[in-house]
Chain A
């Protein structure tokens, strides 16, 4: 069974309400941004229910004919919403946005809104820890080698951006020189064309080199000595790469 963690009071009320209607034949919809856990919550509360996606109109229509209990995801993608009859069926739909508000109001008895992760700081931190553990296990990284505070909390796309940035962060911090070369190799292989490639792609190496150097050594004078290049050359390159 799918589990759902939350400390949000709002979601607790939502879960209580859905839980109470579990045995009733009512239609409910959870509306909220992408990757906020709508489908996970629906599956957690209705583990036995058949799941269909609004991306496939025919499949939804068929499922409605054959099932009394149904989870319909991506409800906003259905174009024939007004034809549905949810009478005496247990429907739990999820949608990324409300679409036709009057129609939604007419079709569903219970209309819930799922708050984004940015409004649920405790949930975001819980998910962050969960994703970090998952990433460490998948990438086979020693947990001791990681600085927890440096792991980013990107909530711009809720759980998706959060998870993606955690994986990227952990991969970047544990790559060796050969792996970095491989990344650059594949990037250049895909993108290299035109007639100014050398200057254009040199930045892939030069820019992070200077940025990291400035962060580490503070002054341009000191960095030029560490890099073994002329100060004027370094200044020119800083200007070229628009480094602050």
Chain B
């Protein structure tokens, strides 16, 4: 019996890419398609070449790769002829939050309104230029309003001395998070500037964890991935 593995690869949660010998993509699965929003084709092709086995066959290497919120702990590079080379990246398992979300505390909220209120609060203390790009059509969803407001206040405060601040709020198409065995869409709030304070990073992480929000704290930006629970 011949089994067609293509759909298994297509819907595998870990990215899989097949390049030709000039770095052109011949095939990529669904997870890889999302990953390409955050990393260039060239970078992954270079990795594939760098970690390719000496002879035809497959080689797995343990290494740590970070692309925005995507974390990988290993890769497998393989080729069976001179024309094609494949790269598979292994997702690092996410640590299950120790704290369960207290759903009774969640209230259906217009996140744009809460964000605007926090921007107005920020403006009472700072004169920085703020640019806001938001999706006004985001549906109201359930959050712990008080906790989330504290998180927004602290996140914005980290940019109190930044020259110009770019805030964007959007739905992450095609990405989901599992909360209480339910697949929930993700809303991404991203704040970027020329630099920021890191003094409250621990508190930002703590407040994020409490609301099952994934926080990505970088030198110039903070990104919050908020589950859109309805």
A residues in contact (CB < 8 Å) with B? 10-11, 13-14, 16-18, 20-21, 24-27, 86-88, 108-113
Contact = CB atoms under 8 A, between A and B. Distances in A.
A18 B114 CA distance: 10
B120 A17 contact: yes
Contacts of B147: 109
Interface of B: 105, 107, 109, 113-114, 116-118, 120-121, 123-125, 144-147, 149-150, 153
Contacts of A25: 107, 145-146
A113 B125 CA distance: 8
Given A110-B149, A111-B153, A87 B118 contact: no
Given A17-B117, A24-B109, 12 more contacts: A14-B124, A16-B117, A17-B120, A20-B116, A24-B114, A25-B145, A26-B149, A86-B146, A87-B105, A88-B146, A109-B153, A110-B118
Secondary structure at the B interface, as helix, strand, loop or mixed, is helix
B28 to A, nearest CB: 43
Contacts of B145: 24-26, 88, 109
A112 B144 CA distance: 21
Nearest to A88: B105
Contact of A17 (B105, B109, B121, B150): B121
A225 B107 CA distance: 83
A171 B113 CA distance: 50
Contact of B121 (A13, A24, A86, A87): A13
A27 B125 CA distance: 18
A24 B107 CA distance: 9
Contacts of B144: 87
Max count, chain B CB within 10 A of own CB: residue among A14, A16, A25, A26: A26
Contacts of B120: 13-14, 16-17, 20
A26 B124 contact: no
B124 A112 contact: yes
A20 B105 contact: no
Max count, chain A CB within 10 A of own CB: residue among B107, B116, B146: B146
A110 B105 contact: no
20 contacts: A10-B124, A13-B121, A14-B121, A14-B124, A17-B121, A20-B113, A20-B116, A21-B117, A21-B149, A24-B114, A25-B146, A26-B145, A26-B146, A26-B149, A27-B146, A86-B146, A87-B144, A108-B150, A111-B121, A113-B125
* 5 tightest A-B CB contacts, nearest first: A109-B149, A17-B120, A20-B117, A13-B123, A16-B120
Nearest to B113: A20
